Structure 1
Amino acid sequence: MVGESGSQHHQFLIPKVVEQLSPQNGHHVLDIGCGQGVLAPHIAKKKATYTGIDISPTLIKQARKHHGTKGRFIVGNAHDLRSIPELTAGTYNSAVFLLSIQDMRYPEKAIISAGWALKPGGTLVLCMLHPAFRIPRQSGWGFDEKRKLIYRRIDSYLSRLDVPLRKDYQTKETLTRSYHRPVGFYVNALSSRNIHTTGFEELPSPKSNNEVLSKPERRALCEFPLFLIITAKKA
């Protein structure tokens, strides 16, 4: 659970995501993998209509509790939005995956579903941990003692990975996973559905401006982006 206003990462990213979505009065915005619905009040503030979809009934319950007056929240599978009775093809001005697409086993299916929901000319925003630099269990920081330099270590990149992140310590069952794909996968998945990339923004950690950090730490955080935002438009 991330709380009513989201995590520190949400608070950093949401203004940038809203800028790309450009919601306006009368627009319909679809949040795919909405979690606890932390984006909803920011869309409602722009007088746009918000719909959030998530496969977890627990998260949708929390979203309705905290943001039920700001939008509509529906339990549903991002891989198959067509199966959700409340949704209609080609009705959304914009759609977004806010730190959610890397939690989806079949991201290409999720992108196809998003394209189905969008109007022609609609905007799709993919906001994620940067696939080139933040690969779960396959990347990390190192320190070059001779050069006094912090570097980013990448052990794997092009391989598609299914990474278990959290387990139930009693049953040993994997509870959450991350699905790594290289950057090119997302660009190609979009273009294959006639959704063409219009923006590509790489963002450093919000901690990069922390004056308490050493010079090598600040430099490393500024040089290696933490997030990637891909903006695309449906033909």
Structure 2
Amino acid sequence: MGEWKELTAPSQERWNEIAGFWDDFMGEHSNRFHREIVRPKTEELLAPQEGQQILDIACGNGNFSRRLAGLGVKVTAIDYSSNMIDRAVGRSSAYEGNISYKVVDATKSEELLALGEGSFDGAVANMALMDIADLSGLLEALPRMLKPNGSVVFSIPHPCFQSPNTRRIHESEDVGGRVVTRNSVQVSSYLQPEPMESIGVKGQPVAHYVFHRPLHYYIHLFVRAGFVLDGLEEPAFAYDAARAERFDWYELPPAVIFRFRKLA
């Protein structure tokens, strides 16, 4: 349990429906979560080098693809939402020749392998694998697509702290004449993989599917495919007193970022 092939098509339909809304929201520079939580540690683990060939899986509107291209990387950027790819292309005219956008379903190994076996120095998936209903095709293809010693870096919402039905709690207390605030989460399920519908951005036209899987699920999946885990980060926001009156992710990491390296 942990893969839901029957939800691939419905998930794709919903991402096509909300692509324009998400692109407008993320804009040219993405949101605070991606800028401060996802991007810095992802770049650190990926360590992109000029001239490398990198696969950007589920690239969305291409924010990270353009970042990589700006560092001199040759990017193949894929997404199964044709509407999202159209939006990404529309934002990337300045990077023509450095980014190749393609509509590819990452659940289908044959579509992935058509991009080239042994062609990529690395692959990245920013906050995307939890949106993919069936990861088996991706893990079948990735070892064959990467060059020797190639790595995959991916981020997901931290499943320990953002599992289904998690409640976010913000409390304040007067302690000795000083107001003390605390953030916490209440978790009632974690181990059982399950699909759920989610509103990732307030106001999006329809909910999209998110597929909760515990940490060990991802580790076992990649190890069985011939990878070794050699990097892990759990970033959180730096404390900001201006935001202390509402919940924010300080001591609790909202995301986890993995680096798996191909063994041979």
Do both proteins adopt the same fold according to a TM-score greater than 0.5, normalized to the shorter chain?
A: yes
- What does the per-residue CA deviation read over 1:115-134, in whole Å, with 9 as the maximum and x for residues that have no partner? 23211210100111111111
Query: Which has the higher relative contact order, 1 or 2, with Cα contacts under 8 A spaced 6 or more apart?
Result: 2
Whole-Å separation in 2 of the counterparts to 1:106 and 1:232: 19
**TM-score normalised according to structure 2 size:** 0.77
1:126 aligned onto 2:135: no
The letter for the 2-side match of 1:52 is A
The residue that corresponds to 1:157 in the other structure is 190
Measure, in 1, the Cα distance between the counterparts of 2:215 and 2:116: 30
Structure 2, gaps ≥5 residues long: 1-21, 200-204
Distance 1:83 1:139, change over 3 A: same
Q: Is the 1:88–1:117 Cα contact (8 Å) retained in structure 2?
A: yes
Q: Which residue pairs with 2:103 in the alignment? A: 75
Aligned partners of 2:60 and 2:88 also within 8 Å: yes
State the shift of 1:19 in Å. 2.0
Q: Percent identity?
A: 24
Which residue of the partner structure matches residue 210 of structure 1?
Answer: 240
Task: Report the alpha carbon displacement of residue 81 of structure 1 after superposing the two structures with TM.
Answer: 4.1
Q: Is the 8 A contact 1:124 1:231 kept in 2?
A: yes
Q: Does the 8 Å contact 1:18/1:42 carry over to 2? A: no
Cα distance between partner residues in 2 of 1:24 and 1:103: 28
Secondary structure at 2:84 match in 1: helix
The answer (yes or no) to whether the contact 1:144–1:151 under 8 Å persists in 2 is no
Count of aligned pairs:
225
TM-score, scaled to structure 1: 0.86
Residue equivalent to 1:3: 27
Where in structure 1 do 4 or more consecutive aligned residues deviate above 4 Å? 142-149, 215-218
User: In 2 relative to 1, CA 213–96 (structure 1 residues): closer, same or farther, beyond 3 Å?
Assistant: same
2-side partners of 1:66 and 1:78: how far apart?
Answer: 22
Range 225-234 or range 132-141, more displaced: 132-141
The answer to whether the aligner puts 1:189 opposite 2:214 as a matched pair is: no
1:132 and 1:157 in contact (8 A); partners too: yes
* SS of residue paired to 1:47: coil
Shift of 1:212: 1.7
Once structures 1 and 2 are overlaid, which stretch shifts more, 45-54 or 57-66?
45-54
Tell me by how many angstroms 1:109 deviates. Answer: 3.2
Match for 2:231 among 199, 216, 223?
A: 199
Q: CA RMSD in A?
A: 2.5
- What CA deviation, in whole Å up to 9, does each residue of 1:167-225 have, x standing for no partner? xxxxxx96510000000011111110111100111111x3x42112449967xx32211
CA deviations 1:7-65 (Å, max 9, x no partner) are 22222222321221112122100010101111122211221101101000000001111
Pair 228,85 (structure 1): closer, same or farther in 2 beyond 3 Å: closer
